[in-house]
Amino acid sequence: MYLGDKVAKCDYCGKEVYLPYRCKYCGGTFCVEHHLPENHACPNLKRGEWQPIYLPNKYSTRYEFYREEELTRKREKIQLFTASEVRDLLLAIGAISIVYMTYAFTVFSLLATVYALIAVLIAFFIHEMAHRFTAISLGYKARFVASIEGLMLTLISALLPFKILAPGYVAIYGRYGGRLRDLGLIALAGPLSNILIAVLAMIIPFSSILKYFVVLVNMDIALFNLLPFAILDGNKIFRWNKAIWLIVFAAAAILWLFVRWF
């Protein structure tokens, strides 16, 4: 096919082209390599400039304006506890409080009853929060859930010589069920926190009655949860690392015997 004698040239590199491209911004003709505006330094091409970002408010059609640097400071407010979680925590603390109030009533002392309630509040809350925040630090979502069966068993044990302290549990979810190591660390955090509180209570000087209940309740909760049975913390720790379980369980048992018999 004959195309004639006239051949176009690329305005950028001077290369002869039979099928030139025309730039819609500057009107020049270019070869295939330089037909894009950014490839021939098009003088009429304007790069994007900063534009305000508009973010919609949830459940409304109103828009708020933020500068770019302000966006990094905008964070969704994190709710520490949900209403249902607070309810479950209060139910669980109430059930365990009833168990230890039976100890206080044996000495017919209102002060001992108050101390028992304080000890339960400290021991149980810190135990469950140790589970909860360890799970969150490992990338899981976690919340405390009261169990109807556990609450009933805990309340019934108030009338028995042995105590069952299982009013609820920290439910975690994410990462397809969790790795064995993560579950072991999460389980370990609870009893370790109770052992630490008991040791600190032995060292720090304060009311002997309150000290007794703080140490007693914390060691009861720690030792019971370290048993390697069913859904208790000890079972998860044992499955993850038997040596760590044995060391922690032995330490808890020795401290528990010391508190009970001395």
Least confident of 33-42, 90-99, 130-139, 250-259: 33-42
Residue-wise pLDDT for 108-163, tens only, equals: 577 877 888 888 889 989 999 999 999 999 888 888 999 999 999 999 988 887 77
Return the pLDDT at 131.
93
Better pLDDT: 77 or 254: 254
Rounding to the nearest 10 degrees, give the CA dihedral for residues 155, 158, 161, 167: 40
Please state, in angstroms and rounded to a whole number, the distance separating the CA atoms of residues 33 and 56.
43
One-letter amino acid at 84 equals: S
The arithmetic mean of pLDDT across residues 16-26, rounded, is 82
Return the pLDDT at 41.
78
State the pLDDT confidence band at 56, using cuts at 50, 70 and 90. Answer: very low
Residue-wise pLDDT for 199-219, tens only, equals: 999 998 877 888 888 999 899
Closest-CA residue to 215 (of 197, 190, 231) = 197
Residue-wise pLDDT for 242-260, tens only, equals: 999 999 999 999 999 988 8
Please state, in angstroms and rounded to a whole number, the distance separating the CA atoms of residues 186 and 142.
11
Q: Give me the DSSP letters along 47-111.
A: ------EEEEPTTSS-EEEE-HHHHTT--PPPPSS-HHHHHHHHHHHHHHHHHHHHHHHTTT-HH
The whole-chain average pLDDT of the chain stands at 80
**Structure-block tokens of residue 42:** 């098009």
State the pLDDT confidence band at 197, using cuts at 50, 70 and 90. Answer: very high
3-state SS assignment for residue 19: coil
Q: In the chain, which segments carry CATH 4.10.1110.10? A: 10-43
Counting residues of the chain whose pLDDT is more than 70, the rounded percentage is 80
Return the pLDDT at 148.
92
Please report the beta strands in the chain, taking only residues with DSSP state E, as ranges in sequence order. Answer: 8-9, 16-17, 21-22, 29-30, 53-56, 63-66, 141-146, 168-173
Q: Is pLDDT at 7 greater than 80 in this prediction?
A: no
Most confident region among 85-99, 186-200, 211-225 by mean pLDDT:
186-200
The arithmetic mean of pLDDT across residues 49-54, rounded, is 47
Return the pLDDT at 223.
94
Q: Which of 38, 49, 70, 128 is catalytic?
A: 128
Please state, in angstroms and rounded to a whole number, the distance separating the CA atoms of residues 213 and 122.
11
Q: Is pLDDT at 167 greater than 80 in this prediction?
A: yes
Active-site residue, 38 included: no
Return the pLDDT at 47.
59
Q: Is pLDDT at 175 greater than 90 in this prediction?
A: no
Closest-CA residue to 191 (of 161, 228, 160, 153) = 228
CATH architecture of the domain covering 10-43: Irregular (4.10)
Q: Which long-range contacts (CB under 8 A, 24 or more apart) does 8-17 make?
A: 10/34, 11/40, 12/39, 12/40, 12/41
135 burial (CB, 10 Å; 0-12 / 13-18 / 19+) is buried
**Residue whose entry in the numeric block shows the structure tokens 């096919």:** 1
Closest-CA residue to 9 (of 26, 21, 24) = 21
Residue 116 neighbours by CB under 8 Å, 6+ apart = 97, 100, 101, 103, 104, 213, 217
